[in-house]
């Protein structure tokens, strides 16, 4: 299984990429977004179990710990 990290995963581009990648069951997708400009509705649906979402700011090391 390949692990993939998407930052900004609740934006237009990141959300589209995440929804596409989770269709491949060989990928485990980790999505990170601070939701400042993104929207949680852009996350993949719950039919796919190979992804996880973290609300965090990638510019803040404390959030990523």
* Residue 27 domain-assigned (yes or no): yes
What's residue 65's pLDDT? 78
Contact yes or no for 26/3 (Cβ under 8 A):
no
Does the residue 33 lie in any domain? Answer: yes
Give pTM, 2 decimals.
0.92
Whether the predicted pLDDT of 54 surpasses 90: yes
Question: How many domains are contained in the chain?
Answer: 1
Structural domain containing residue 8: 1-42
Residue-wise pLDDT for 7-42, tens only, equals 999 999 999 999 999 999 999 999 999 999 999 999
Q: Token digits for 42?
A: 């852009």
How are beta strands 2-7 and 51-55 bridged, if at all? unpaired
DSSP string, the chain: -EEEEEETTTSHHHHHHHHHHTTSTTEEEEEEE--SS--GGGSPPTT--SEEEEE--TT-HHHH-
Distance between terminal CA atoms of the chain? 23
Report yes or no on 35 lying in a domain: yes
């Amino acid at each position: 299984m390949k692990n993939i990290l998407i930052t900004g995963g609740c934006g237009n581009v990141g959300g589209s990429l995440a929804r596409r990648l989770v269709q491949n069951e060989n990928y485990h997708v980790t999505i990170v977004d601070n939701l400042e400009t993104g929207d949680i509705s852009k996350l993949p649906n719950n039919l796919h179990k190979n992804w996880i979402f973290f609300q965090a700011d990638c510019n803040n090391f404390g959030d990523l710990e």
